Structure 1
Amino acid sequence: MTDTPARLLRLLSLLQTPREWPGSELARRLEVSARTIRRDIDRLRALGYPVEATMGADGGYRLVAGTAMPPLLLEDDEAVAIAVGLRAGAGHAIEGLDEASVRALAKLEQVLPSRLRYRVSVLQTATVPLTRGDGTTIDPRTLTVMAGAVAATERLRFGYRSGDGTETKRQVEPYRLVSTGRRWYLVAYDLGREDWRTFRVDRVSEPFATGARYAPRELPTGDGDAARFLSRSMARMLPRMEVDVTFRAPAEFVAARLPKHLGAPVADGPECCRLRTTVHDSLEWLALRLALVECEFTVHAPVQLSEFLGELGARLTRASGRAGQEEDAR
């Protein structure tokens, strides 16, 4: 192989396989001399790839972890697997999948050849994830378009459906994507309203990057923290509740089954724990999350939550048919 750039790429692809390669085998595969392999290894090191050599008659080479992340070469199947995994995670707003993951997906999809993009699309369409039903499903392409617009500081157009079902067209200067674990939100400056807004991504349709560039504005918070801005916006939209709940289960058991933003319960006896926290969530969502903990619990506050749980329990009892059975038993 006389083409040096092509040979280096092929050599790098081999070294990215987690094994040690004898110099003689690399020379045979690339149809060059052992001396050329040594020179190519030096070239890769100069480019930032940490290639480690072992001593011996037939010396070996392997790629090791370095201090920086150099570019990776992916086989077709590897690229498809990564893209499908990122799409699945992004589409269901899995907790811990933040903006950096969406940016990675946007970069990968931008360079995928059409044949691989088609394979990713087919796999995504043909598979259905099993979820607990307490999140929202998002088209991953919506996220990648938005992430690309944020990175390129391009104005974005999209359709938006508000909570009451009103459909509007928006043109914004996107600032950041923020994940709350349950949902994705876009923090952006709305050109039509001439003010900052937050948008639930699952209510966005047909996002389109216009290509028009803009100079990023400063958030009203003054610190550039989009997550803090979102928290304040949500606090204005939802009632503030002081929650006090006792669970008849160990704190570790309960903490593993509650969203992290609700806080951590503390032990309140050998087999009990108590959660005291302040939330900005709907009564309906909070009641369902408490019910999913899968243990007995008592709500001390707020009264509205306790009353809602009572009404919900009565409806569920009627739905199960047990209420009629109890009447017959009397």
Structure 2
Amino acid sequence: MRHQLSAFAKTVSVLSLCMLGNAAYAQQEVSRIVTVHPIVGEVIDQQEKLAFGLFSAYRLDDFQKASFFRFASLDSTRGSILLQVTLRNGEVRTRSYSEREFQQVRNSIERQCQQTLYEQKQEERVVARKQALPPDTAAAPKYWYVGVGATYHSYNSVNRPYCEAEPLYLAIGYTIKPRVALQGEVRYSRQIKNLSNTSVLNGETYTYRTERDTRSTAVTLLARFRKSQTQRRLQFDWLAGITIVHGREKETTFQTSSTYSQTYNYPINKAIQPHLVGGISLRYLLAPHVTLGTQLLLNKNLVPFFFGWGTPFGGADIGVSYLFGDRKFAHAVK
């Protein structure tokens, strides 16, 4: 009898040990921590909650950390996910998540990671682009430049004098922004034209010679807008501004014959008229401080004609310019 009781007790002990071992093994299979995204790891802290906008049900000031756990049954591969949140006061709260909700959290983190990576790459491109450009695009100092060249411009006028400007022009400019400069130009011309004809009066032949002396002065103020990249030797600009044209015309007629001579002086014609101007410019960098350029300009008289506003006239220039300043900036602002 005693032998039977001893055997029974031994059997019970073995069964108990086996049950304890199975329970311990089952506990390992029942739950395990899972990582929702590699960027946050197994434990999500307060900073990561803020950065990715996670767990809106918990206030940021109360939140300390959170982890996801996956629970699996012993007889099935199907399981559920549990969020365990630890608050700053030590309280632990849990919430069940479906596979879909868990994946939504993962996708939300991934989208924000991609967005952050995209924005970082964009910033790197902007920085690289700025570094590739000459220093004038960031904070270009102000520079003076001068120019001289050949010119021909014609200006429409309500009445005489009819002004033309040739053959030379002078220019001076000052850069106010990396891509903007103000430019002043002066053109002066004096033209003397002679007209002659003959007529017979009372059997005597008379010669009439008319001398027309026209002096034209045009002062132009232009804004130059550079459109090309500074690295290129060939630069393209838009031009816009205003020109004040002063004209003075003196006309004299000489009447002569074999027995007679007389001079007629007509009243001097003067006029000052404003013209709106605009056009384009092409400049080629010959040296760090020297460019060869041309300008094509149209001008429009701002004084209304009795029959309308008149027809736009125009002209062209070709010349060289020299910039005063540091060589490393010179090519960018001439």
TM range (shorter): under 0.3
Bigger relative CO (Cα 8 Å, ≥ 6 apart): 2
Structure with higher strand content = 2
The alignment's TM-score, normalised by the length of structure 1, stands at: 0.22
- Identify the structure with the greater helix proportion: 1
